[in-house]
A and B are shown apart, each in its own frame.
Chain A
Amino acid sequence: MSQFDLMRTPVETAAMNTPLLDVRGLSIALPPGADRPLAVDDLTFTLNPDEILCVVGESGSGKSMTAHAMMGLLPAPHVRVAGGSLLFKGKDVLAMPEAEQRSLRGGRIAMVFQEPMTALNPLMRVGRQIGESLREHTALPAPARRARVVELLAQVGLPNPAELAEAYPFRLSGGQRQRVMIAMALACQPDILIADEPTTALDVTTQKQILDLIRSIQAERHMGMMFITHDFGVVAEIAHRVAVMRHGKLVEYGAASDVLNRPQHPYTRQLIASVPHYIEHRDDHAKTGAPLLVADKVRKIFHVGGGLFKKSKEVIAGDDLSLTIHPGETVGLVGESGSGKSTLGRSIVGLIKPDSGRILFEGTDLLALDRKGFRPYRRAVQMVFQDPYASLNPRHRVGDIVAQGPVAFGEDRTRALTRARELLAMVGLDGSAADRFPHEFSGGQRQRIGIARALAMEPKLLVADEPVSALDVSVQGQVLELLDDIRRRLNLAMLFITHDLRVAAQVCDTIAVMRRGRIVEMGTAREVFTHPRDAYTRSLLDAIPGKSWHIPDDLQKIPAGAH
């Protein structure tokens, strides 16, 4: 018996014997022609009142499908429940008539989604969107509903709730929208709250706030909560019990402390081993020779809106940005969304022209060059983009994508294609890859193609803009290892842009922390992680989920820089 069970009164223990939710042998069938016949295969688990169950797995593991089946959100008729039952307080949800199912949805079982930016109707005031739920499931008259909406908005910690209820979603930030979503889910005091990756799309500090909010609300209302995530850091923060899923099957299921500290299944062990841990910073990088790149007081202002008769608004994306990168050094640019880190990265590659400042590459000011003069430097500085799905031309063969750069610089086409095949092999793709199209590859493989494309130009500096943030954690680990391996073999310098401090800790020698267009702190990874000087850096470090959890020793990786 765990500590939790001992603290309960007998009545509560009795109530726990009939679980809130009892999933028995649930199978969900995919349409014919999908990569596997069953999205969810014979899944069995229970959820008790006053408990947070974390369902962990990578994309495609069927964790969201399970939640969608519970809410009647499966895309009928293509995807359907093929077998099993979903018992809510002992009654099978799947066997209920539609009207009864609907009264459960949003009433007894509520859900919060991953993407707060798109989960709200853009044309409806947020107060009304929350009120709709009350209108459907309660008999409250309109004025009482409005009062309740304001009360709910206040409960989820939003300022000026009365005013905010009248706002449209586009006026709200991502974190605020997610709070609205939570208020909406809580509207009818549900017994079960399903949260499908509710913090994945948020910045680390916002993530911490939302996690704290979810945890306190759950504890206050004794709700049963199913929390879907891929992040073991988050699991360590909030889970009471954990279910690990892979390819639609449950591979490990148990109390959080057991799964986190004594994982049994090889897949769980592999997932935990690929969790980046911020303690593992690298050893200091020995800077040698003249700096490869110096950014000196770079400043960029964007003009937003405006027209013939109207003045545009100025947004300072970067101000007084200075950093140096030495050959072989990896500099991490860390910050939240909108902090200007991509602006600096794009300025260095020449995609954006800063308003003032200098960018010196081996002593030459790139900003002073004209198009023609800049051209040779395009080769020397290459970029790996964030979204591997959008950054490769879907109509070109992979071999061509990789070879196009050198061909544009006068390389013989057959030679370039041969070299492309070598590079694809080097990034771990097999020989046939060159003749295929990007859509035939997974996200991780596409990012490898993106890296091969950048390497084909034989650059001296690689700018990697969030290269792993769109990838699953185990794939993330592989791509980071590949980048590190290449960096060492080719003695590449790298500017690594990321919002994830744990990732930065794993790959960077030097770290620059950005906030609101300024670099607030810059130092070696060791300094920044062990003795952060700036208050903002400290709050970022403090917000890393699961930092009090010590990854089991036998699963800890040797820090990459310590080889």
Chain B
Amino acid sequence: MLGFARLFASRLVKAAAILIAIVVMNFFLVHAAPGDPAMVMAGEAGAADEKFVAQLREQFGLDRPLYEQLGTYVGKIVQGDLGFSYRQQRPVWDILAERLPATLVLTLTAFLLALAAGVALGTLAAVAVGTWADSAITVIALLAYATPIYWIGLMLSLLFSIQLGWLPAFGYETIGAGYTGLAHVADVAVHLILPVITLALFYMAGYARLTRASMLEVRGLDFVKTAKAKGLTQSRIVTRHVLRNAILPVITVAGIQAGQLVGGSILIETVFAWPGIGRLAFEAVLQRDYQVLLGIFLVTSIMVILFNILTDILYGLVDPRIQVSQ
């Protein structure tokens, strides 16, 4: 357990180092924009006379040396101040805080669903390798993987909301309904179904294929022969010996994808008019809203780091050899 705590601590230290690097990069990105930030801000604010720009420079300390500015910037970030969006006339942090929950609910649900269904289907295919069940799963996975994600989304919403009228076609909640408590949760859940399935299908296909391949590889290893020679039942061999070992590469890939999911759902959020970070990023790019973009950059970076740490911990729990080699 001591090794585990040490592993966790060393991961946190590394994460902090990476975060600082990201913040510093963020700072220089602002400076890499054409003109200095004051010009950008003045442009964004719509007033561009020399005096105003000079005033902005003084106000934001842009006439100070670079290292001093960097110190101020980092100080602000640490306090949770991500800057101000002149486009939306609101602090960046407020905008992000409003959008983040919607994205997290969507992506995390989709991610967990994709992981569970993918591993289950992959296991099924590997156990029944060479049969019709294996072929069916392989074909479905291939289709889900190869079909453009927005097309699946459009087709699903065409079928389930427009033709059948079972589910809402877009949005996060029924606007103007004013639900509270459980009714609100149920309302969001109903809205969640289509985007979650659309997003999950794609990732599920990947996990299913990976699990199948990995299980087939592990199935041929010596210790599985040992397990058979012990007279264990097929189901115990599959769950305790094969799957347990085959899951390691799936965790690796899932860990990398979990971080990306936060920023990677732009298409889904656009198709289903989901008020999340992805769409915010999309809009911010169109409007050249640098402050918001940098805020999103920082938040998604933190998410990636967070999920990487989670993956490492999970890996350490599943594979006892990891703690030693770290």
Residues of A within 8 A of B (CB): 71-73, 102-107, 110-111, 113, 115, 118-124, 129, 132-133, 136-137, 168, 170, 181, 184, 305, 307-310
Contact = CB atoms under 8 A, between A and B. Distances in A.
Contact of A105 (B14, B230, B245, B319): B230
Interface stretch (B219-227, B258-266, B273-281, B299-307): B219-227
A307 B236 CA distance: 39
B318 A118 contact: no
7 contacts: A105-B229, A105-B231, A121-B241, A121-B244, A122-B321, A136-B231, A136-B236
A532 B225 CA distance: 43
Given A123-B318, A123-B319, A168-B320, A71 B229 contact: yes
Contact of A122 (B223, B228, B236): B223
Contact of B231 (A115, A123, A124, A137): A137
A147 to B, nearest CB: 19
B229 A110 contact: yes
A132 B231 CA distance: 9
B324 interface: yes
A104 B232 CA distance: 11
B19 to A, nearest CB: 16
Contact of A136 (B230, B245, B321, B326): B230
B229 A106 contact: yes
Contacts of B324: 170
B88 interface: no
A530 to B, nearest CB: 41
Contacts of A309: 10, 13
B204 to A, nearest CB: 25
Given A103-B231, A124-B241, A136-B236, 4 more contacts: A71-B229, A73-B228, A121-B245, A168-B320
A293 B233 CA distance: 60
Interface residues of B, number: 27
A113 B231 contact: no
Contacts of A106: 229-232
Interface in B5-31: 10, 13-14
A120 B321 contact: no
B245 A120 contact: no
A361 B231 CA distance: 59
B251 to A, nearest CB: 12
B245 A123 contact: yes
Main secondary structure of the interface of B (DSSP, over half): helix
A168 B321 contact: yes
B64 interface: no
B288 interface: no
A136 B232 contact: yes
B59 interface: no
B230 to A, nearest CB: 4
Given A124-B240, A168-B320, A309-B10, A119 B231 contact: no
A104 B230 CA distance: 9
Given A123-B319, A168-B320, A170-B324, A132 B232 contact: yes
Nearest to B247: A123
A170 B226 contact: no
A64 to B, nearest CB: 11
Nearest to A105: B231
Nearest to B225: A73
A172 to B, nearest CB: 12
Contacts of A118: 221-223
Nearest to B318: A123
Contacts of B231: 102-107, 133, 136-137
Given A123-B245, A123-B320, A170-B324, A184 B230 contact: yes
Interface in B182-236: 221-223, 225-233, 236
B325 interface: yes
A133 B230 contact: yes
Contact of B226 (A120, A137, A307): A120
B173 to A, nearest CB: 44
A401 to B, nearest CB: 29
Contacts of A107: 231
A119 B222 CA distance: 5
B320 A111 contact: no
